[in-house]
Amino acid sequence: MEIRPGLHRIVAPIPPRFIAMHLFVGPEGALLFDTGVDGSVEGTLLPYLREAGIDPASIRWVVSSHCDFDHTGGNAALKAVAPEAQFLAGAADQLMTENLEVLIAGRYGEFSRADGFDDPASTTAEIRESTRLVGVDRALTGGERIELGGGRVLEILAVPGHSPGHLAVWDPANATLAISDAVLGETVPTAEGSPAFPPTYRDTAAYVDSIARLRGYDAELLLTAHYPVYEANEVTEFLENSLAYTERIDRAIEKHLVGEMSSLELIHDAAADLGPWPREAAEYLIFPMTGNLERLARAGRVAEGWRDGTRTWKWAE
């Protein structure tokens, strides 16, 4: 639906969750922020555009917020109906936005060898089936301005943390921040609002810094990919709760890291303090837990080691 003048929120199902794409429309062209999965374009985006009277060819820019498949998987389908559109992505995410196998190995398989954690084979198969990528025409680093005409200018923000090259869009005309997955609250919800899995930020220091910078925009509207629309005081509350969750993980590490433990051992001990998810979903805590442990290691408080080929952590002596 059009939630502000020239700003559309288009919600596509990715059961049991959803993906919200955002379209910024001006007199000289439109910018689409994320394309969902492959089926999101034909199944949700194009019917919405037809009903709204928007020509897909008017989309001049397609910005991938970050490399994850549920944000880039529809890129090839979109390119088929908007062949003149420029595809843009964060420079640090570019390779994983263009190459599916690099994405699977580098993003979803990051913890396989060191920590013994990987997606189930069925999940990897689903990613392959629902993702068709295209080349990136231009890599962005933040600070770029995109003019939609009529004085409407969007600013691209670099907001790393969930991924190294994560981007957001600032729409000053509507005092709106579109942040996709840059900030992830206390749990990622299902479409019905129940907890699905933990917030999967990865670089804790960058994530905390991004939250602080986003708070500085004093946005009236905050648009994410998997959460409700946040307005007015809800914006600050969501950002503050997301920051508080990083501190909650630190407290869980303080409590549960005893002796030398692998990442999964620590997660299994601490999971009940961090969220309501079942064991399989709770193991995705490996993303934020590793980020917090690495931050503690850089501060000299935690030491990284190895035990029988598996990475371990312990308090530094």
Dump the DSSP string for the chain.
-EEETTEEEEEEEETTEEEEEEEEEETTEEEEE---SHHHIIIIIHHHHHHHT--GGGEEEEEESSS-HHHHTTHHHHHHH-TTPEEEEEGGGHHHHH-HHHHIIIIISTTHHHHS----HHHHHHHHHT------SEEE-S--EEEEETTEEEEEEE--SSSTT-EEEEEGGGTEEEEETS---SSEE-TTSSEEE------HHHHHHHHHHHHTT--SEEEESSS--EETHHHHHHHHHHHHHHHHHHHHHHHH--SSEEHHHHHHHHHHHH-S--HHHHGGGHHHHHHHHHHHHHTTSEEEEEETTEEEEEE--
- Summarize the confidence of residues 257-274 as an average pLDDT: 98
Q: Report the C-alpha gap between 172 and 219 in whole angstroms.
A: 9
| 272 contact partners, CB below 8 Å, separation of at least 6 | none
Q: Report the C-alpha gap between 9 and 33 in whole angstroms.
A: 10
Q: Quick check: 34 pLDDT over 90?
A: yes
Q: Report the C-alpha gap between 185 and 238 in whole angstroms.
A: 6
Query: Tokens standing for 195?
Result: 């907890």
Query: Tokens standing for 29?
Result: 């062209």
pLDDT given for residue 229 in this prediction: 98
| 48 contact partners, CB below 8 Å, separation of at least 6 | 8, 10
Q: Report the C-alpha gap between 164 and 45 in whole angstroms.
A: 27
pLDDT-derived band at 237, boundaries 50, 70, 90:
very high
Q: Quick check: 213 pLDDT over 90?
A: yes
CA 193 to chain centre: 18
Could you tell me where in the chain the CATH 1.10.10 domains are found? Answer: 249-315
Q: How many CB atoms lie within 10 A of CB 150?
A: 11
Say whether domain 2-244 belongs to CATH 1.10.3720.10: no
Average per-residue pLDDT in the chain? 98
Burial of residue 99, with CB atoms counted within 10 A of its CB: 0-12 exposed, 13-18 middle, 19 or more buried: middle
Could you tell me where in the chain the CATH 3.60.15.10 domains are found? Answer: 2-244
CA 5 to chain centre: 25
pLDDT-derived band at 295, boundaries 50, 70, 90:
very high
Amino acid at 175: A
Q: Report the C-alpha gap between 267 and 282 in whole angstroms.
A: 8
- Summarize the confidence of residues 195-217 as an average pLDDT: 98
User: Would you call the peptide bond into 15 cis, given omega within 30 degrees of 0 as the criterion?
Assistant: no
pLDDT given for residue 317 in this prediction: 81
Query: Tokens standing for 284?
Result: 């995705």
Express each pLDDT in 90-148 by its tens digit.
Answer: 999 999 999 999 999 999 999 999 999 999 999 999 999 999 999 999 999 999 999 99
CATH architecture of 249-315: Orthogonal Bundle (1.10)
